[in-house]
Amino acid sequence: MHKILITDPISDQGLKILEHDELEVIYKPDISENELEVFLPIIDGWIIRSGTQVKSKHLKEAKKLSVIGRAGVGVDNIDIQAATSAGVVVMNLPDGNTISAAEHTLSLLSGLSRNIHLGHLGLVKGEWNRHKLVGNELKGKTLGVIGLGKIGREVIKRALSYDMKILGHDPFVNQDMFDPEKIKIVDIDTLTTESDFITLHVPLIDSTRDLFNLDRLKMMKSSARIINVARGGIINEEDLSIALNEDIIAGAGIDVFVKEPIDSNHPFLSTKNLLITPHLGASTIEAKEGVSKGICEQVKDFLLNQKLSNVLNIPIADMSILKQIEPYLLMTEKLGIILSQLIGESVSSVKIDCFGTIEESKPMIISFLKGLFNKITDNRINFINAISVAEERGISISHSYS
């Protein structure tokens, strides 16, 4: 029986999907690190949201683990390189939170423009600060959107209905993809200096960490505001606190933090002109239901039927062809096993030449590597990690097809 560990909250409907004779669900949304160590060696699948950190040490302990399912889009809380090396499939659900994240972005945008949070706090304290809380209309203002993926585009769609002007920046898109009358694609410096509002929709990677530090925040208009519903760390938290307290920019709306939950001495708790929410971007009934059901379906289908959906780390583009070429895969794996028995020294390179009518040769190359590495490494070799194992060992791989 396959065991699936769930260490973040998911919906009841998601849990019902996993109710199956061949699946045992271990639902531990508030699991401690000590308790986690008990379950890791026995689980086949692991379902998480944003609260769980899947680290290299966890993957070393989880000897039976074959799939990690992330209920949502972001996977910066998973060590994907370690998962790939361990032969563990990593799946996510890229569209489940899109609408909720976009709508929360617009909620912060509207709240900041009209000082709604400050008005509420003032009334609670018995103050009537109407004259101090004059806001701005969004119509005619320039919104800079950094990251033009699904969430960024949904934000743009809604911002256009406010009659806002849109500047966009994304290193992987160009102006041809957008109507220049509605969306102008610019470099990040232009966006930073010309926007009245800036919203971030990029992953947290080396190139985006501290993307908005004090130097870049100083490039913004003094009347501008910035919003982050993407990932904590894209804006440097200390620098943002300084920029707000010293009136370098006018305001910020932040939903995500470097460390969650934030502690009692976090600089944001003593920062003015700041609207913060506790990572609510994906916290809607609809989003939670959607990602819970979706990821449970994907993990179940993988464990029971080896079906792959939204896989982030598998090196094969079209998994539907695997069944069709299964005889060739068995043959190439056995060739790899035979060759591994004939090798008397270390392998420095592998060259494979393919001929015939099966144009998709990459799966067969990976199958050959599975056989070749079957006896020369103690890792579990499979379609996920075969190329990774070769690269780790400095083995160059080349192939041709004719």
Asked if residue 360 has pLDDT above 80, the reply is no
pLDDT at 325: 78
Structure tokens that stand for 281 in this block: 């971007």
Mean predicted lDDT score pLDDT of the chain: 90
In this predicted model, which residue has the larger pLDDT, 72 or 221?
Answer: 221
Of the candidates 260, 326, 391, 392, the residue annotated as catalytic is 260
Task: List the one residue out of 156, 229, 166, 152 whose CA is nearest residue 196.
Answer: 166
Structure tokens that stand for 270 in this block: 């003593």
Asked if residue 197 has pLDDT above 90, the reply is yes
pTM of the model: 0.70
Specify burial of residue 34 (Cβ count, 10 A radius: 0-12, 13-18, 19+). exposed
pLDDT at 36: 96
pLDDT at 330: 85
pLDDT at 388: 77
In this predicted model, which residue has the larger pLDDT, 383 or 90?
Answer: 90
* DSSP characters over 68-117: EEESSS--TTB-HHHHHHTT-EEEE-TTTTHHHHHHHHHHHHHHHHTTHH
What is the rounded distance in angstroms from the CA atom of residue 362 to the CA atom of residue 343? 23
CB burial string 213-250: b at 16+ within 10 A, e below: ebebbeebbeebbbbbbbbbbbbbbebbbbbbeeebbb
Helix (H, G, I), strand (E, B) or coil at 43: coil
Q: What is the share, in percent, of the chain residues with pLDDT greater than 90?
A: 64
* DSSP characters over 52-66: --B-HHHHHH-TT--
What is the rounded distance in angstroms from the CA atom of residue 337 to the CA atom of residue 335? 5
Of the candidates 2, 104, 231, 333, the residue annotated as catalytic is 231
C-beta separation of 231 from 204 below 8 A: yes
pLDDT at 323: 66
Range with top average pLDDT, 105-119, 304-318, 320-334: 105-119
C-beta separation of 203 from 70 below 8 A: no
Residues in contact with 228: Cβ distance below 8 Å, sequence separation at least 6, in sequence order? 199, 200, 234, 235, 252, 253, 254, 255, 256
Asked if residue 382 has pLDDT above 80, the reply is no
pLDDT at 158: 98
* Active-site residue flag, 260: yes
Helix 98-113 vs helix 150-161: crossing angle, to nearest 10 = 40
pLDDT at 13: 93
Asked if residue 336 has pLDDT above 80, the reply is yes
* Active-site residue flag, 216: no
Q: How far is CA 32 from CA 64, 154, 159, in A?
A: 20, 37, 42
The pLDDT tens digits of the residues spanning 266-322 come to 999 999 999 999 999 988 999 989 999 999 999 999 999 988 888 887 666 565 666
Phi-psi region of 185 (alpha: psi -120 to 50; beta: other; left: phi over 0): beta
The pLDDT tens digits of the residues spanning 27-83 come to 999 999 999 999 999 999 999 998 899 999 999 999 999 999 999 877 889 998 888
C-beta separation of 259 from 232 below 8 A: yes
- Segment 349-378 shows an average pLDDT of 79
Task: List the one residue out of 230, 291, 257 whose CA is nearest residue 9.
Answer: 291
Helix (H, G, I), strand (E, B) or coil at 340: helix
Q: How many of the other CB atoms lie within 10 Å of CB of 338?
A: 11
- Segment 152-160 shows an average pLDDT of 96
Of the candidates 2, 70, 153, 279, the residue annotated as catalytic is 279
